Amino acid sequence: MSEISTKTVAQTETLNAFATLRFSGDRLEPDRVTGILGIQPTTAYRKGDVYRQSRGHEVRGRTGVWYLSTRRCVDSNQLADHLRHLTAVVSPEGRADHILALRDLMARDGLEADVSCFWYGGAGAHSPEIPAFARDVFARLGAAIELDFDTD
Amino acid sequence: MDTRKRPPRQPKTPRIIWNGPDNPTNQVATTLGIPRWRLRTAVHEIKKRSKLGARDGITIYDDGTVRDANGEHVGDIYEDSRAD
């Protein structure tokens, strides 16, 4: 294979992909979401909490957020692998589904749920499809899916 | 020996290199010295974590600081673009 064609293949690769699951609302109590899902979030805070120190600045929550990102816990550039991880958190295979409990909590505390899919590819790369299993699980949860796809 | 007193060094004021709701350009990544995919990764994480929407505007400074439309500090590109 020539040097030129090798570079062409490399440029069409996925450079990064991950997904996030987020619950938010002014009355959100992070421990309630953690208690249902049995997994620690990447970041969680109540409305008004200082949740991060950055360059000497305090970052304060404008609303409550429970946020799980697969970026550092799923070692894959395939978006489907990241979505499979999130669906397994919400609806674990062979165990009780958390969706009903989450929907009850969302209704009681006025929370919203959403899922974001981040994908970045080299020039000419084709963006991925959202697998049906993910669309199904997140629809049952009542979580909107947001796509953030981009290329060089 | 030069005995002239030097003026006190002024801290550099960060310069705005991006402002708006759209995705930051390659020029912003070049100014920060990181690949654009790392810049986009960091912006996505900062927005999601801060309960900002995809179309919410942000301001990026040349020291990596990110502020929302209200001028509130919401993150740092260098912290959030570190290797996975």
Q: A12 near A68, Cβ under 8 Å?
A: no
- Distance, in angstroms, between A2 CA and closest chain B CA? 25
Identify how many contiguous H helices and E strands chain B contains and give both numbers: 3, 4
For B25, the closest chain A residue by CA position comes to A152
Neighboring chain A residues of B71 at a CB cutoff of 8 Å? none
Listed residue (A73, A49, A44) closest to A60, CA to CA: A49
Question: Where residue B83 falls among pLDDT bands split at 50, 70, 90?
Answer: low
Q: What pLDDT score does B6 carry?
A: 74
Q: What pLDDT score does B12 carry?
A: 81
- Tens of pLDDT, residues B19-75: 988 899 999 999 999 999 999 999 999 999 999 988 899 999 999 999 999 999 999
Q: What's the mean per-residue pLDDT of chain B?
A: 90
Q: Which of B26, B36, B45 sits opposite A69 (nearest CB)?
A: B45
A16 touches chain B (CB under 8 A): yes
Main-chain dihedrals φ then ψ at residue A150, nearest 5 degrees: -155, 160
A65 touches chain B (CB under 8 A): yes
Please tell me the pTM assigned to this model: 0.88
Q: How many whole angstroms separate alpha carbon A37 and alpha carbon B35?
A: 35
For A77, the closest chain B residue by CA position comes to B84
Rg for chain B, CA atoms, rounded:
16
A116 touches chain B (CB under 8 A): yes
CB contact under 8 A, B49 and A65: yes
Question: Where residue A56 falls among pLDDT bands split at 50, 70, 90?
Answer: confident
Instruction: Count Cα neighbours of B37 within 13 Å in the Cβ-side half-sphere.
Output: 20
Q: How many whole angstroms separate alpha carbon A58 and alpha carbon B12?
A: 21
Q: Which of B41, B63, B73 sits opposite A59 (nearest CB)?
A: B73
Q: Which of A43, A72, A148 sits opposite B49 (nearest CB)?
A: A43
- CA angle (A115 as vertex; A110, A116 as ends), nearest 5: 135
Q: A102 near A91, Cβ under 8 Å?
A: no
Where in the sequence is the domain holding A105, given as residue range(s)? 3-151
Q: Which of A16, A59, A116 sits opposite B48 (nearest CB)?
A: A116
> What is the tally of structural domains in chain A?
1
ipTM score assigned to the predicted complex: 0.87
| CA distances for A35 relative to A38, A42, A89, A102, B80, angstroms | 5, 15, 12, 10, 27
Q: How many whole angstroms separate alpha carbon B14 and alpha carbon B82?
A: 21
> Which residue type, as a one-letter code, is found at position A3?
E
